[in-house]
């Protein structure tokens, strides 16, 4: 059982690492989105003030950017889930490659035990 305990410990560490990576990924996606929105507002605001762009066009660009945000975050989370599934599949393959345990003799069925007890 020591080998399985070690595999479980490693799996727990891998799961913790994956969760940390997921958190970092989500924060990075939000940071990139925030910087993009600020940049578009700064550049677009200057273009609207100078008359090169209408305010409606600026808001349309921001609207489309915000519509892309949620699917992007979900995609990042899904990628992390795929990583977890692949790690689990790898552990299953290793377990299946192990030699089978020797067959045990079956224990007496409860009915047999009762019958033997009632005869004595």
Percentage of the residues of the chain whose pLDDT score is greater than 90:
21
Q: What is the pLDDT of residues 93-114, one digit of tens each?
A: 877 777 776 666 666 555 555 5
- Look at residue 15 in the predicted model and tell me its pLDDT: 75
- Look at residue 116 in the predicted model and tell me its pLDDT: 56
Orientation angle between helical segments 2-50 and 55-97, nearest 10 degrees: 170
Residue 95: name the closest of 18, 11, 29, 39 by CA: 11
Helices (DSSP H) in the chain: which residue ranges? 2-50, 55-97, 110-119
Rounded distance between C-alpha atoms, residue 38 and residue 52, angstroms: 19
- Look at residue 35 in the predicted model and tell me its pLDDT: 92
- Look at residue 83 in the predicted model and tell me its pLDDT: 72
- Reduce the DSSP state of residue 53 to 3 states and report it: coil
Rounded distance between C-alpha atoms, residue 88 and residue 15, angstroms: 10
Enumerate the domain spans of the chain: 2-119
Q: If pLDDT is split at 50, 70 and 90, which confidence band does 46 have?
A: very high
């Amino acid at each position: 059982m020591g080998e399985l305990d070690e595999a479980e410990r490693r799996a727990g560490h891998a799961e913790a690492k994956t969760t940390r990576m997921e958190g970092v990924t989500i924060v990075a996606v939000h940071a990139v989105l925030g910087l993009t929105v600020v940049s578009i507002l700064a550049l677009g605001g200057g273009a609207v003030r100078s008359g090169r762009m209408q305010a409606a066009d600026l808001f349309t660009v921001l609207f489309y950017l915000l519509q892309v945000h949620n699917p992007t975050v979900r995609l990042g989370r899904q990628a992390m889930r795929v990583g977890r599934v692949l790690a689990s599949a790898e552990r299953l393959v290793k377990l299946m490659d192990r030699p089978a345990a020797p067959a045990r003799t079956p224990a007496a069925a409860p009915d047999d035990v009762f019958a033997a007890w009632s005869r004595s």
